[in-house]
Amino acid sequence: MAYVITELCIRDGACAEVCPVECIVPGPEGDPEWGISYFIDPDTCIECGACAPECPSDAIFPEDEVPEQYRHAIAKNRAFYTEGPGYSARK
Ligand code: SF4
C-alpha cells in the first residue's frame, strides 16, 4: 500500500518538500495528461503520512482510504512511474 495523490491536486508542491524518500514528483507542466498533478511512486512510498496534512487541497489519501470517485488515481499514480514521465526519471 502507498499514499495516493488524486485529481484534487493543485500542484502546490508542499507534499514533495516533506517526503523523506523523495517519491513525489510533479507531472510536466502543460502536459494535458500528466501536467495536472503531482504523483507518488507507490513502490518507494514508505507510508509515513507526512505528505497528506501538508496538502492545501486535501488531495492525498492512503490507498485504502481513497474516496470512490477518485480511485482511478491509484492506477494513475503507478502508471506515471511505469509508463509515464516518471519512468525515465526513476531509472
Ligand atoms: Fe512520501 Fe511519506 Fe507521503 Fe509516502 S506517505 S509519499 S513516503 S511523505
What is the extent of the structural domain holding 56? Answer: 3-90
Question: What's the domain count of the chain?
Answer: 1
Q: Model's pTM, two decimal places? A: 0.94
Tens digits of per-residue pLDDT, 24-60? 999 999 999 999 999 999 999 999 999 999 999 999 9
- According to DSSP, residue 18 is labeled H
Looking at residue 51, what is its pLDDT?
98
- The total number of residues shown for the chain amounts to 91
Give the CATH number for residue 24. 3.30.70.20
Is the distance from the beta carbon of residue 3 to the nearest atom of ligand 1 less than 6 Å?
Answer: yes
* Residue to substitute in 45, 60, 80 for testing ligand 1 pocket (most ligand atoms within 8 angstroms of CB): 45
Residue with the smallest CA separation from ligand 1 atom 4 is: 45
24 lines ligand 1 (CB under 6 A): yes
Residue 63: pLDDT above 80? yes
Cα 90 from Cα 8, distance rounded (Å): 24
The H-or-E segment that residue 62 falls in is strand 60-62
